[in-house]
Structure 1
């Protein structure tokens, strides 16, 4: 016995709620980057994904309404808009995450591989965009339904499963390769990898969406598509937002104590005691963005999420 599907009202509430959360998280990410004056290509993709998600909300709300007064061609057009905006949100979010990893990588073979992967992501998006038109236009009988919905079938479901799983696998594995040789504490590495590993959430949701495509569509397919789109956008922004929250937390902790700065790896900390003051020399690994043309200079005020440059810098603070 199959479980009852979501109602129309439940689908609309989930659509509005998840979209609002995704838009707020993306807006916070952009505000953080503007405040830090560190806008990049990944932020542009995040903004584009937010626009697609907002358009998906509007198209979905219109598509789910009882629009008997709408012409049939308008109903068909709304279905196509929902389907294509869904692909737009999912794949611009994945491109956003990929460019976040690229900006943290020093020029070299690995960065070239990542840029090649970016091209593959764009190709897959174009493939899915075209496949939808090809499948739906070759079986036009669905267009005459009161509530038109194309039967995408196994081919689309299999294509979505394979591409989503492979893309999320790359987005999870690539950060492991980046921080493998960086001298960070175990807790820091766990925090970094856990942020990027949240891509697994979108994999689970995408597999559920693919299952409902094969099972026959309906509101279950619409609901799973809404969840996948919004979760993809939220996950794409976590690397920036989580780092900003941890930065605020660490600043609060450091201001409430007068103990020396905790360093990550590097040389042995030396303390020099003078009659009137104490100097503490520490070694800190600074994580920063790396541009295409040159390495940016290391700054102690950098707030970026995970800057994976293993250069070290000595910083001396004196309390007199």
Structure 2
């Protein structure tokens, strides 16, 4: 029997497969390029990759008829997807941040940026807690009985995501500018500015994701979340991949 491309669950699986394949290839290539020189930015990229595999498991736990799964498995699948959404996107941001820390020659600035990393880690913990207090109150468990369980996160989650996403991505775009300005090669400087500014793409997708949380809900939220995660991990690998490409081309 062919795939029903109008089925939201099939759409999510296809999106995850395609976008995830790109993110996985980028991360594996990055780790290969960085072999023998691994640092914290590579560790966070690898951690995000592991969580992406867990997210794959959560998404593909849905068989053709999710009702064939017991209720606990369907709820567990949702939480796998929800939790890994945060771990992937923030681990990707931490990878970019530690890339900046790695190449920054100023010890004082490196120390300050580590405090920013602490904020990013706190954000992961905060969103975990928020997920629990929004989805687990005794008065709000009806969503678990659905064929494909999806907790209604509401505006408070969307607002928190918008604020933290925009601020963190803006920070990741601004921080490298001090380093890039010092480069003598104007062409390389422009290319690196473009590479680090790709974080804005993640912010745009996060705004769409937040809009779906508020206005639409349901499986569309999972679909956009999958795209946002894979895109974030892909963007996190761009500085390493692009730098390697520039060196190979003698640029």
The TM-score range, normalised by the shorter chain, is: over 0.9
Tell me what 2:3 maps to. Answer: none
* Corresponding position of 1:200: 200
Partner residue, 2:27: 26
Matched residue count: 244
Report the equivalent of 2:243. 243
Structure 1 vs Structure 2 CA RMSD: 1.5
Offset at 1:240?
0.6
Question: Which is helix-richer, 1 or 2?
Answer: 2
Instruction: Name the structure where strand makes up a greater proportion of residues.
Output: 1
For structure 2, list consecutive stretches of 5 or more residues without a partner in the other structure: 1-5
Secondary structure of residue in 1 paired with 2:61: helix
Partner of 2:41: 42
What SS does structure 2 have at the residue aligned with 1:27? Answer: helix
Aligned equivalent of 1:13: 14
Deviation of 1:65 after TM superposition, in Å, equals: 4.3
Alpha-carbon separation, structure 2, partners of 1:120 and 1:65: 40
Relative to structure 2, which stretch is displaced further, 65-74 or 115-124?
65-74
TM (norm. structure 2) is 0.93
Unaligned runs of 5+ in 1: 252-320
- Is the aligned partner of 1:228 residue 2:228? yes
Cα 1:198/1:129, change in 2 over 3 Å: same
Normalised TM-score (structure 1): 0.73
* C-alpha displacement of 1:109: 2.7
Q: Which secondary structure state, in structure 2, belongs to the residue aligned with residue 68 of structure 1?
A: helix
2:213 maps to what in 1?
Answer: 213
- Decide which moves more: 221-230 or 136-145: 136-145
- Secondary structure of 1:151's counterpart equals coil
Distance in 1 between residues matched to 2:194 and 2:95, nearest whole Å: 17
2: CA distance, partners of 1:224 / 1:65:
21
The alpha-carbon distance between structure 1 residues 26 and 248, as it changes in their structure 2 partners (threshold 3 A), is: same
Deviation of 1:155 after TM superposition, in Å, equals 0.4
The CA deviation at 1:9 is 2.5
CA deviation vs aligned residue, 1:45-72 (integer Å, no higher than 9, x gap): 1111011111111211214742222211
Q: CA deviation at 1:6?
A: 7.4
| Mapped contact 1:8–1:64 kept (Cα < 8 A) | no
| Cross-structure match for 1:125 | 124
Segments of 4+ moved more than 6 angstroms: none
1:82 Cα deviation (Å)?
Answer: 0.7
1:111-157 Cα shifts (integer Å, max 9, x gaps): 22211100000111110011001100121121122221100000000
